Amino acid sequence: MAQVNFRVKDERLALIDRGAAIRGVTRTEFVLRASEAAALEALNERPVIALDDEAYDAFVAALDAPDEPSARLRELAARKPLWER
């Protein structure tokens, strides 16, 4: 099992201890839960999509391929804007 040590000012430690006491857990458990929650939040902000070579090539090809505009989009693009009517 790994060990983590860090220095913290007395005021911050007192705050952590109060939070741990309210939750009914140890200081270590309180800090670990908060750290894990922060880590998961950070990881979820940047999702990772793993693709094999074939799927990656198909994905890049789809991004590079021009898309045909729909009839509705062509209609909207052909209209005069309100400020020119």
pLDDT, tens digit (0-9, with 9 covering 90-100), for 16-45? 999 999 999 999 999 999 999 999 999 999
* Backbone φ, ψ for residue 7 (5° rounding): -100, 145
* Residue located via tokens 């799927």: 55
Structural domains in the chain (count): 1
The overall average pLDDT reported for the chain is 94
Residue 59, CA distances (Å) to 54, 65, 66 in order? 9, 10, 13
Q: Does residue 70 have a pLDDT over 90?
A: yes
Q: Which residues form the domain of 29? A: 1-85
What per-residue confidence (pLDDT) applies to 55? 97
CB 35 within 8 A of CB 27: no
Q: What distance in Å separates the CA atoms of residue 58 and residue 61, rounded to the nearest whole number?
A: 5
Total number of residues shown for the chain: 85
pLDDT recorded at residue 62: 92
The Cα 36–Cα 34 span in angstroms is 5
